[in-house]
Amino acid sequence: MDLAILIGLILGIGSIFAGIYLAAAASGASMGGFISGSSFAIVFGGMIASLAVAFPLKDVIGLGAAIGAVMKGDGPPLGGLVDDAVNVADVGRKGAADLEKNLDSIRNYFFKDGCQMVVDGYSLDELTDILETRIEYREQREKTQADMFKSMGEMAPAWGMIGTLIGLVIMLAGFGGAGGADALGPGMSAALITTFYGAVFANLFFLPMAAKLNQKQIASTTAQALLVEAARLIHQRKHPIIVREKLNSFIPPKEWKREG
Protein backbone atom coordinates (compact mmCIF):
# COMPACT_ATOMS: atom_id res chain seq x y z
CA MET A 1 0.00 0.00 0.00
CA ASP A 2 1.11 3.55 -0.72
CA LEU A 3 1.98 4.95 2.72
CA ALA A 4 1.87 8.54 1.45
CA ILE A 5 -1.84 8.15 0.61
CA LEU A 6 -2.60 6.58 3.98
CA ILE A 7 -0.77 9.36 5.83
CA GLY A 8 -2.45 12.04 3.74
CA LEU A 9 -5.95 10.66 4.29
CA ILE A 10 -5.41 10.29 8.03
CA LEU A 11 -4.06 13.84 8.30
CA GLY A 12 -6.83 15.27 6.13
CA ILE A 13 -9.71 13.52 7.87
CA GLY A 14 -8.14 14.17 11.27
CA SER A 15 -7.76 17.88 10.49
CA ILE A 16 -11.37 18.16 9.38
CA PHE A 17 -12.75 16.44 12.49
CA ALA A 18 -10.44 18.42 14.77
CA GLY A 19 -11.55 21.67 13.15
CA ILE A 20 -15.22 20.75 13.43
CA TYR A 21 -14.81 19.72 17.07
CA LEU A 22 -12.96 22.88 18.08
CA ALA A 23 -15.39 25.15 16.24
CA ALA A 24 -18.42 23.33 17.65
CA ALA A 25 -17.01 23.38 21.18
CA ALA A 26 -16.28 27.12 20.97
CA SER A 27 -19.80 27.94 19.84
CA GLY A 28 -21.63 25.36 21.90
CA ALA A 29 -23.00 23.71 18.76
CA SER A 30 -23.32 20.01 18.01
CA MET A 31 -21.05 18.10 15.63
CA GLY A 32 -24.11 16.11 14.55
CA GLY A 33 -25.06 18.91 12.20
CA PHE A 34 -22.28 17.80 9.87
CA ILE A 35 -23.82 14.36 9.41
CA SER A 36 -26.49 14.22 6.72
CA GLY A 37 -27.48 11.08 4.83
CA SER A 38 -29.50 13.05 2.30
CA SER A 39 -26.59 15.36 1.52
CA PHE A 40 -24.24 12.41 1.09
CA ALA A 41 -26.74 10.70 -1.22
CA ILE A 42 -27.10 13.81 -3.40
CA VAL A 43 -23.35 14.40 -3.75
CA PHE A 44 -22.09 10.84 -4.07
CA GLY A 45 -25.06 9.48 -6.02
CA GLY A 46 -25.13 12.43 -8.39
CA MET A 47 -21.37 12.22 -8.92
CA ILE A 48 -21.54 8.52 -9.87
CA ALA A 49 -24.50 9.24 -12.15
CA SER A 50 -22.55 11.94 -13.98
CA LEU A 51 -19.57 9.59 -14.24
CA ALA A 52 -21.79 6.96 -15.88
CA VAL A 53 -22.94 9.53 -18.43
CA ALA A 54 -19.40 10.70 -19.19
CA PHE A 55 -17.56 7.34 -19.38
CA PRO A 56 -18.25 3.84 -20.76
CA LEU A 57 -20.03 1.54 -18.33
CA LYS A 58 -17.11 -0.92 -18.22
CA ASP A 59 -14.83 1.87 -16.97
CA VAL A 60 -17.33 2.96 -14.31
CA ILE A 61 -17.74 -0.64 -13.13
CA GLY A 62 -13.95 -0.85 -12.96
CA LEU A 63 -13.76 2.11 -10.59
CA GLY A 64 -12.80 -0.23 -7.76
CA ALA A 65 -9.79 -1.42 -9.74
CA ALA A 66 -8.80 2.20 -10.33
CA ILE A 67 -8.93 2.88 -6.58
CA GLY A 68 -6.81 -0.22 -6.06
CA ALA A 69 -4.26 1.12 -8.55
CA VAL A 70 -4.05 4.36 -6.57
CA MET A 71 -3.58 2.58 -3.26
CA LYS A 72 -0.96 0.19 -4.64
CA GLY A 73 2.55 0.78 -3.39
CA ASP A 74 5.41 1.99 -5.55
CA GLY A 75 7.21 -0.47 -7.80
CA PRO A 76 10.79 -1.66 -7.27
CA PRO A 77 13.51 1.01 -7.40
CA LEU A 78 14.97 1.61 -10.84
CA GLY A 79 18.43 0.76 -9.54
CA GLY A 80 17.19 -2.75 -8.78
CA LEU A 81 15.84 -3.10 -12.33
CA VAL A 82 19.25 -2.11 -13.69
CA ASP A 83 20.91 -4.77 -11.54
CA ASP A 84 18.47 -7.42 -12.77
CA ALA A 85 19.00 -6.40 -16.40
CA VAL A 86 22.79 -6.56 -16.04
CA ASN A 87 22.58 -10.06 -14.56
CA VAL A 88 20.35 -11.23 -17.41
CA ALA A 89 22.64 -9.58 -19.97
CA ASP A 90 25.58 -11.52 -18.56
CA VAL A 91 23.66 -14.77 -19.12
CA GLY A 92 22.29 -13.66 -22.49
CA ARG A 93 25.76 -13.18 -23.96
CA LYS A 94 26.31 -16.94 -23.72
CA GLY A 95 23.43 -17.63 -26.09
CA ALA A 96 19.64 -18.04 -26.35
CA ALA A 97 19.67 -21.46 -24.70
CA ASP A 98 21.27 -20.12 -21.52
CA LEU A 99 18.94 -17.13 -21.54
CA GLU A 100 15.91 -19.41 -21.84
CA LYS A 101 17.01 -21.39 -18.79
CA ASN A 102 17.21 -18.14 -16.84
CA LEU A 103 13.75 -16.82 -17.80
CA ASP A 104 11.95 -18.15 -14.73
CA SER A 105 14.25 -16.13 -12.47
CA ILE A 106 13.11 -12.83 -14.05
CA ARG A 107 10.56 -11.28 -11.70
CA ASN A 108 9.26 -8.44 -13.88
CA TYR A 109 6.69 -9.85 -16.33
CA PHE A 110 7.26 -7.06 -18.87
CA PHE A 111 11.02 -7.68 -18.95
CA LYS A 112 10.45 -11.43 -18.98
CA ASP A 113 8.29 -11.08 -22.11
CA GLY A 114 11.01 -9.02 -23.77
CA CYS A 115 13.64 -11.66 -23.01
CA GLN A 116 11.28 -14.38 -24.24
CA MET A 117 11.11 -12.55 -27.56
CA VAL A 118 14.90 -12.59 -27.71
CA VAL A 119 14.87 -16.36 -27.13
CA ASP A 120 12.14 -16.83 -29.75
CA GLY A 121 14.20 -15.04 -32.39
CA TYR A 122 12.20 -11.83 -32.83
CA SER A 123 14.04 -9.14 -34.72
CA LEU A 124 15.20 -6.04 -32.84
CA ASP A 125 12.57 -3.88 -34.55
CA GLU A 126 9.77 -6.36 -33.81
CA LEU A 127 10.76 -6.61 -30.15
CA THR A 128 10.94 -2.84 -29.78
CA ASP A 129 7.63 -2.23 -31.58
CA ILE A 130 5.71 -4.79 -29.50
CA LEU A 131 7.00 -3.58 -26.14
CA GLU A 132 6.51 0.09 -26.97
CA THR A 133 2.95 -0.64 -28.13
CA ARG A 134 2.25 -2.27 -24.76
CA ILE A 135 3.54 0.82 -23.01
CA GLU A 136 1.37 3.09 -25.16
CA TYR A 137 -1.87 1.24 -24.45
CA ARG A 138 -1.11 0.83 -20.75
CA GLU A 139 -0.74 4.61 -20.61
CA GLN A 140 -4.13 5.01 -22.31
CA ARG A 141 -5.82 2.71 -19.79
CA GLU A 142 -4.26 4.50 -16.84
CA LYS A 143 -5.12 7.90 -18.33
CA THR A 144 -8.78 6.86 -18.45
CA GLN A 145 -8.64 5.98 -14.75
CA ALA A 146 -6.99 9.31 -13.91
CA ASP A 147 -9.56 11.16 -16.03
CA MET A 148 -12.38 9.48 -14.10
CA PHE A 149 -10.99 10.66 -10.78
CA LYS A 150 -10.44 14.14 -12.17
CA SER A 151 -14.03 14.25 -13.43
CA MET A 152 -15.33 13.09 -10.05
CA GLY A 153 -13.30 15.84 -8.41
CA GLU A 154 -14.88 18.40 -10.71
CA MET A 155 -18.42 16.99 -10.41
CA ALA A 156 -18.53 16.62 -6.60
CA PRO A 157 -18.57 20.39 -5.83
CA ALA A 158 -21.16 20.93 -8.56
CA TRP A 159 -23.46 18.33 -7.03
CA GLY A 160 -22.78 19.89 -3.64
CA MET A 161 -24.10 23.17 -5.01
CA ILE A 162 -27.15 21.39 -6.45
CA GLY A 163 -27.84 19.93 -3.01
CA THR A 164 -27.47 23.38 -1.48
CA LEU A 165 -30.00 24.82 -3.91
CA ILE A 166 -32.41 21.99 -3.11
CA GLY A 167 -32.01 22.72 0.60
CA LEU A 168 -32.54 26.46 0.10
CA VAL A 169 -35.71 25.89 -1.89
CA ILE A 170 -37.11 23.62 0.82
CA MET A 171 -36.04 26.06 3.55
CA LEU A 172 -37.59 29.09 1.87
CA ALA A 173 -40.74 27.19 1.03
CA GLY A 174 -41.31 26.59 4.74
CA PHE A 175 -40.14 30.03 5.83
CA GLY A 176 -43.62 31.43 5.99
CA GLY A 177 -44.94 28.49 7.98
CA ALA A 178 -44.54 27.49 11.58
CA GLY A 179 -41.21 28.51 13.06
CA GLY A 180 -40.65 31.44 10.72
CA ALA A 181 -37.27 33.09 11.20
CA ASP A 182 -36.31 30.52 13.84
CA ALA A 183 -36.01 27.92 11.09
CA LEU A 184 -33.66 30.02 8.98
CA GLY A 185 -30.40 29.12 10.79
CA PRO A 186 -30.86 25.34 10.93
CA GLY A 187 -32.24 25.33 7.40
CA MET A 188 -29.26 27.25 6.01
CA SER A 189 -26.88 24.95 7.89
CA ALA A 190 -28.49 21.84 6.39
CA ALA A 191 -28.42 23.39 2.93
CA LEU A 192 -24.67 24.10 3.12
CA ILE A 193 -23.69 20.58 4.20
CA THR A 194 -23.87 19.31 0.62
CA THR A 195 -21.38 21.97 -0.51
CA PHE A 196 -19.11 20.89 2.34
CA TYR A 197 -19.34 17.23 1.29
CA GLY A 198 -18.65 18.10 -2.34
CA ALA A 199 -15.55 20.13 -1.45
CA VAL A 200 -14.17 17.37 0.80
CA PHE A 201 -14.73 14.65 -1.80
CA ALA A 202 -13.04 16.74 -4.47
CA ASN A 203 -10.04 18.10 -2.60
CA LEU A 204 -9.21 15.25 -0.21
CA PHE A 205 -10.03 12.24 -2.36
CA PHE A 206 -10.63 12.45 -6.08
CA LEU A 207 -8.41 15.27 -7.39
CA PRO A 208 -5.42 14.03 -5.36
CA MET A 209 -6.11 10.49 -6.61
CA ALA A 210 -6.03 11.72 -10.20
CA ALA A 211 -2.69 13.44 -9.56
CA LYS A 212 -1.32 10.30 -7.86
CA LEU A 213 -2.29 8.11 -10.81
CA ASN A 214 -0.58 10.51 -13.21
CA GLN A 215 2.61 10.29 -11.16
CA LYS A 216 2.41 6.49 -11.04
CA GLN A 217 1.94 6.44 -14.81
CA ILE A 218 5.12 8.48 -15.32
CA ALA A 219 7.04 6.16 -13.00
CA SER A 220 5.73 3.04 -14.75
CA THR A 221 6.56 4.42 -18.16
CA THR A 222 10.11 5.27 -17.09
CA ALA A 223 10.63 1.79 -15.65
CA GLN A 224 9.26 0.07 -18.74
CA ALA A 225 11.26 2.28 -21.08
CA LEU A 226 14.36 1.19 -19.14
CA LEU A 227 13.39 -2.46 -19.60
CA VAL A 228 12.74 -2.01 -23.32
CA GLU A 229 16.27 -0.67 -23.70
CA ALA A 230 17.56 -3.54 -21.56
CA ALA A 231 15.85 -6.10 -23.80
CA ARG A 232 17.30 -4.39 -26.87
CA LEU A 233 20.82 -4.50 -25.42
CA ILE A 234 20.41 -8.17 -24.51
CA HIS A 235 19.21 -8.86 -28.05
CA GLN A 236 22.40 -7.22 -29.31
CA ARG A 237 24.48 -9.24 -26.80
CA LYS A 238 26.09 -6.15 -25.35
CA HIS A 239 28.62 -6.54 -22.56
CA PRO A 240 27.13 -6.13 -19.04
CA ILE A 241 29.35 -3.08 -18.44
CA ILE A 242 27.84 -1.35 -21.48
CA VAL A 243 24.34 -2.43 -20.40
CA ARG A 244 24.80 -0.90 -16.95
CA GLU A 245 26.26 2.35 -18.29
CA LYS A 246 23.42 2.73 -20.78
CA LEU A 247 20.67 1.92 -18.27
CA ASN A 248 22.18 4.23 -15.66
CA SER A 249 20.92 7.05 -17.87
CA PHE A 250 17.39 6.30 -16.65
CA ILE A 251 18.11 6.67 -12.93
CA PRO A 252 19.45 9.38 -10.60
CA PRO A 253 23.27 9.43 -10.37
CA LYS A 254 23.13 8.66 -6.64
CA GLU A 255 21.72 5.20 -7.53
CA TRP A 256 24.41 4.39 -10.08
CA LYS A 257 26.57 1.33 -9.58
CA ARG A 258 29.71 0.36 -11.43
CA GLU A 259 30.89 -3.04 -12.58
CA GLY A 260 33.83 -4.52 -10.79
Q: Is the pLDDT of residue 58 over 60?
A: yes
When the pLDDT of each residue in the chain is averaged and rounded to a whole number, the result is 87
Residue-level pLDDT at 77: 81
pLDDT at 62: 87
- Please state the domain extents for the chain: 1-33, 36-255
Indicate the residue type of 172: L
Of the ranges 63-72, 172-181, 198-207, the best mean pLDDT one: 198-207
Residue 41, CB-side half-sphere exposure with 13 Å CA sphere: 4
Amino acid at position 182, single letter: D
Q: What's the pTM value of the predicted model, to 2 decimals? A: 0.80
Question: In the structure, what pLDDT confidence band is assigned to residue 260 with cuts at 50, 70 and 90?
Answer: very low
- Residue % of the chain over a pLDDT of 90: 48
Please report which residue ranges of the chain form alpha helices under DSSP H.
3-27, 37-40, 46-54, 57-61, 63-71, 78-92, 96-101, 109-120, 124-173, 184-200, 207-235, 240-247
- Residues 150-167 pLDDT 10s: 999 999 999 999 988 888
User: 213 to each of 19, 37, 67, 206, how far by Cα in Å?
Assistant: 29, 30, 9, 11
DSSP of 2-60 = -HHHHHHHHHHHHHHHHHHHHHHHHHT--GGGG--HHHHIIIIIHHHHHHHHHS-HHHH
pLDDT tens-digit profile of 71-123? Answer: 887 777 888 899 999 999 999 888 888 888 888 888 889 999 999 999 999 99
Predicted pLDDT of residue 187? 61
What is the distance between the alpha carbons of residues 220 and 223, in angstroms, rounded to a whole number?
5
Decide: 24 and 30 in contact? Cβ < 8 Å: yes
Task: Tell me how far CA of residue 121 lies from CA of 16, 100, 102, 154, in angstroms.
Answer: 59, 12, 16, 49
Contact (Cβ atoms closer than 8 angstroms) between residue 74 and residue 212? no
pLDDT of 33 strictly over 80: no
